[in-house]
């Protein structure tokens, strides 16, 4: 049976995984935004403005839409991974409270 210290250590390791995921996500998105910036001049105005423009579906190139979808997939993938790790942390915290 693990001790509270073991659980705390595992929780810290999981938080490290979350921070690593966030760093990887930012790196992937930075690269994708640089690629997107080449085909979508509106990106210089800001990502949020461009997303509003894309969702309105006015004057968007096929290449820009493809990159937009890839960006969304990156965000979803990292959000899911982070949520899974967070659920493990929550379960460990509950287990620790029961000790």
Quick: pLDDT tens for 62-95.
788 888 889 889 999 999 999 999 999 999 999 9
Distance CA 56, CA 10 (A): 45
Distance CA 26, CA 10 (A): 25
**Per-residue confidence band for 99, with pLDDT thresholds at 50, 70 and 90:** confident
| Pairwise CA distance, residues 27 & 69, whole Å | 17
Instruction: Provide the residue ranges of all domains of the chain, joining segments of one domain with +.
Output: 4-98
Say if residue 3's pLDDT is above 70: yes
Tell me how far apart the alpha carbons of residues 30 and 69 are, in angstroms, rounded to a whole number.
15
Q: Above 90 in pLDDT, residue 18?
A: yes
């Amino acid at each position: 049976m693990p001790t509270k210290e073991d659980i705390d250590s595992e929780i810290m390791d999981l938080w490290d995984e979350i921070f690593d995921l966030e760093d990887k996500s930012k790196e992937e998105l930075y690269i994708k935004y640089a690629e997107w910036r080449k085909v979508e001049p509106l990106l210089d105005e800001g990502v949020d403005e461009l997303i509003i423009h894309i969702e309105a579906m006015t004057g968007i190139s096929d290449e820009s839409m493809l990159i937009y979808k890839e960006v969304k997939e990156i965000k979803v993938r990292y959000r899911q991974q982070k949520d899974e790790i967070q659920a493990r942390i929550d379960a460990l915290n509950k287990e620790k409270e029961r000790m």
